[in-house]
Structure 1
Amino acid sequence: MREAWVLNGFIPSNQEEKQILQDITTELTFNPCEKSHKLRFHSWKEPARIRNPKVVVEKLTGGKMEREQQYWEDTPLELLRKKGVHTGLTAYIDEIEERLIPIIGSAE
């Protein structure tokens, strides 16, 4: 689930990332950032390995956690809501807004 949410927030930052995303999109026949819910966590062997969201995130980030972190910190909230409908991210954001923010706001 975490990797699907990371993919929901992915915005290529340079030409290399754009090319990697394009190559993955071509291989999958869909954009994994737009439809990360179509990826499968159990795919570790070729040729299905590219369908594993962990593999896709690894390819897009080069294994750099700080790059992953940028996806959820810098991506506009409305874009995360739009892309996260099928991964549960939109529901999670809504729940945070409905339950946690009022609690934090009342503590001030």
Structure 2
Amino acid sequence: MSEPAYDFGVVCEARADRDTACVLADRVLMDAIDWLDEELLDTQRRWRGLTPSEPFLRWASVREEAKKAGLKGLFGHFGNKPAEPDALVARRALLLFVDSDTKPQAVMLVRDSDADDRRRIGLEQARGDKPWPFEVVIGVAEPKRECWVLTGFKAKAHEEEAFHDLAQRLSFHPIRDAHRLTASEHGAKNDAKRALEELTSGNLERERECLRETPLENLRQRGERVGLTQFLSEISERLVPVMDGSRRSGK
């Protein structure tokens, strides 16, 4: 089998983050580029880690990978400003892709904000640090990935009772106000993971339905306060031009 024409690197924390971001990115790409074929998509593009055989690069592994690679210039300011959260680790990750045997045409940095607005600023600092030889796409789920999935949730008949129970327990709308699910402790009252599990009964295929079947325009409209609207715009503005040939990667 021939190699895909486009290689896109992914940096994230877990497989679920990778799958969520890549499903959404694929939808934007297919919506914008006529020649993409869903059945042939895996032969047209590849989401990968530092090597094509790895599904993603884990944030927690970046420091050790940079150490093994002997990378230099990992510290210091960004312009005349100190590094915000995630800026240094994102710089390391991008340098690792620069140093990889087969460079991707783009790298996607996907992160939960964990209710810290400075994380997005840190990723933007890393992106603006130098003219990278690939496009850099940023996706920050605010506060967590599960909020992106909730944005695409519409209760089916057998889920309506669980939805109303959840809304009553939270005292706010768990879809429209998903940005308020800010608990850092799993299982807490306003924990995004708990809310999603209650609505989908922990069914991963139901999660995928929320991402794959909800119209993109609905996701854009509902996703403003959870970072999803911004991520979909990043894909449209930065990744689509790389793949349809209207912009060279890294330009």
Matches for 1:80-95 after TM superposition, within 5 Å: 80-95=219-234
Q: For residues 46-105 of structure 1, what are the alpha-carbon distances to aligned partners after superposition, in whole Å with 9 as ceiling and x for unaligned?
A: xxx231000011111111111101101000111111111011000000010001111111
User: Comparing both structures, which one devotes a greater share of its residues to strand?
Assistant: 2
Asked if 1 retains the 8 angstrom alpha-carbon contact of 2:183 and 2:189, the reply is: no
Provide the residue aligned with 1:65 in structure 2: 204
Shift of 1:41: 3.4
Provide the residue aligned with 2:162 in structure 1: 20
Provide the residue aligned with 1:77 in structure 2: 216
Shift of 1:44: 3.4
Asked if 1 retains the 8 angstrom alpha-carbon contact of 2:183 and 2:192, the reply is: yes
Distance 1:76 1:97 in 2: 15
TM-score by length of 2: 0.39
Asked if 1 retains the 8 angstrom alpha-carbon contact of 2:185 and 2:191, the reply is: yes
Provide the residue aligned with 1:33 in structure 2: 175
Asked if 2 retains the 8 angstrom alpha-carbon contact of 1:5 and 1:89, the reply is: yes
Moved more, 51-60 or 98-107: 98-107
Count of equivalent residues: 103
SS in structure 2 opposite 1:86? helix
Distance 1:19 1:34 in 2: 17
Q: Which has the larger radius of gyration?
A: 2
Shift of 1:18: 1.3
The one-letter amino acid of 1:39's match is L
Matches for 1:48-63 after TM superposition, within 5 Å: 49-63=188-202
Provide the residue aligned with 2:32 in structure 1: none
SS in structure 2 opposite 1:51? coil
After the TM superposition, list the runs of 4 or more consecutive aligned residues in structure 1 that deviate by more than 4 angstroms. Answer: none
Asked if residue 9 in structure 1 is aligned to residue 152 in structure 2, the reply is yes
User: Tell me, which stretches of 5 or more residues in structure 1 are unaligned?
Assistant: none
Distance 1:50 1:17 in 2: 19
Shift of 1:16: 2.1
User: Tell me, which stretches of 5 or more residues in structure 2 are unaligned?
Assistant: 1-143, 247-251
The one-letter amino acid of 2:151's match is N
Instruction: Report sequence identity in percent.
Output: 37
SS in structure 2 opposite 1:34? coil
The one-letter amino acid of 1:54's match is K
CA RMSD between the two structures: 1.4
TM-score by length of 1: 0.88
The one-letter amino acid of 1:7's match is L
Asked if 2 retains the 8 angstrom alpha-carbon contact of 1:43 and 1:51, the reply is: no
Higher relative contact order (CA 8 A, sep 6+): 1
Distance 2:173 2:200 in 1: 16
